[in-house]
Amino acid sequence: MVDVERISGAPRSAIVVGAGVVGLSTAWFLQEHGVEVTVVDRTGVAAGASWGNAGWLSPGLAIPLNEPSTLMYGLRSLLRPTAPLHIPMTANPGLWTFLTRFAANCRWSSWTRAVQANLPLNEDSVAAFDALTANGVQASTTEAPITAAFRTAQQARGLLGELARMERAGQPVSHAELSAEEMHEFVPLASSALTVGVRIDGQRYLDPGAFVRALADSVIARGGSIEQMEVVDVRGHATEVTVRSREDTVLSADTAVIATGAWISRLLARLGVRVPVRAGRGYSFTVPVERPVPGPVYLPVERVACTPYQGALRVAGTMEFRGPDAPPAQARADAIVASARPLLDGVRWDERRDVWVGPRPVTPDGRPLIGALAQPGVYAAGGHGMWGLTQGPETGRLLAEQIITGKCPAALSEFDPLR
């Protein structure tokens, strides 16, 4: 059990809505405090962004999306459906309201605030993973630098500038510039088109689906339960919290946590949360390789992430703002291949498998929603964007502390869902 003060009347039971890495981490750390936990999810464990992401445990690259350059790039990409960042020209008023707020936050003051707010989640992210794997989660993480590769030194200066800004905002990132020869040592798949690299040290990677399933198994082994149901309403009452499914099944507990990823606004909007969360959908697939892959590879200009995965290479990329349940667009996966093929040799691109699309929950200000809602006993945890895997376990640890003590940890003060 962790050494955290328990207030009188602290909850003894909890319902966690959402079986991704954030929800399951919160459930696991609540169990550390002796709370009886039930996790519910509409489709099952790791069914959203927790399964098919790049698998990077990369606090050094948890850079907020709301840079001024992102806004300009998005505007230039409006009419390019295969661009790495795609905003469809739809009449969806909710999307355009979100994008208007996002655009208003694409300024350096807002970006810096997001970096500084996220510092505690990033600084302790690796320790939170280690706490899980040392105490019953039968999965592993692999230490390895992430190597960013570029065609030219001028392109590399873009990432180096981002890392310098991160350091000025309070998050130094250990890194080194690499010559073509040095970069090819870290990236044996690199083609001759890539001539310079940046090595980001102190990072890890993992099999995200396997890790989240192991986390779920640990929650069950410690006495928790995981049930499949689609939750349509969560209500806090004087003595309990109730969770109602689409089929009118009602569960009750002392407290509830809403951690439904890109779908979170469907429940939070009913509970007075005004910060919207939209689905920034990413695609991934797996391809065989003819040479070993010693660690993750990042192609920043193409916005493509590559990770060793089950003896092959998982390739992930793109950001498209469409509904979380919209069908996949084959053209998006094809565009990833087209951009990466000239840069990586020894990859059998035509044999790709496990093509997947998953929605990352994006907020307009680069800060997730973590903490208490207006109704008693109800909490939110979501909106981490592309960094839910990296920040999920530490989010769960801190939120469990808040639920047990009744006090908001300083590390969560900037993430108030009611801001």
Nearest in space to 26 (alpha carbons), one of 236, 271, 216, 250: 216
In the numeric block, which tokens belong to residue 289?
């390789």
Give the integer Cα–Cα distance in Å for 390 and 59. Answer: 6
Mean pLDDT for the stretch of residues 381-395: 97
- pLDDT number for residue 340: 97
Q: Which residue has the tokens 């093509």?
A: 355
Residue 262: pLDDT over 80:
yes
- pLDDT number for residue 69: 81
- pLDDT number for residue 3: 61
In the numeric block, which tokens belong to residue 414?
């900037």
**CA-based Rg of the chain, rounded to a whole angstrom?**
21
> In the chain, where are the structural domains located?
13-415
Q: Average the pLDDT over each of 1-15, 288-302, 346-360 and give the range with the smallest value.
A: 1-15
- pLDDT number for residue 33: 96
pLDDT band, very low/low/confident/very high, at 83 (cuts 50, 70, 90):
low
Mind listing the pLDDT tens digit for each residue in 177-211? 999 999 999 999 999 999 999 999 999 999 999 99
Mean pLDDT for the stretch of residues 319-343: 91
- pLDDT number for residue 47: 82
Residue 78: pLDDT over 60:
no
Residue 24: pLDDT over 50:
yes
Mind listing the pLDDT tens digit for each residue in 102-133? 999 999 999 999 999 999 999 999 999 999 99
Q: Which helix H or strand E contains 250, and what residues bound it?
A: strand 250-253
Share of the chain above pLDDT 90, in %: 84
What is 13-415's CATH number?
3.50.50.60
Query: What single DSSP character describes residue 37?
Result: E
Give the integer Cα–Cα distance in Å for 347 and 285. Answer: 12
Q: For the chain, how far is it from start to end, CA to CA, in angstroms?
A: 32
- pLDDT number for residue 1: 44
373-410: buried (b, 16+ CB within 10 Å) or exposed (e) per residue?
bebebbbbbbbbbbbbbbbbbbbbbbbbbbbbeeebbe
Mean pLDDT for the stretch of residues 138-164: 97
pTM of the predicted model as reported, rounded to 2 decimal places: 0.93
Residue 274: pLDDT over 90:
yes
Share of the chain above pLDDT 70, in %: 93
Q: Average the pLDDT over each of 2-6, 150-154, 235-239, 250-254 and give the range with the smallest value.
A: 2-6
Task: Tell me the C-alpha to C-alpha distance, in Å, between residue 309 and each of 145, 313, 314, 358.
Answer: 15, 5, 6, 18
- pLDDT number for residue 240: 96
Residue 302: pLDDT over 80:
yes
Mean pLDDT for the stretch of residues 19-40: 98
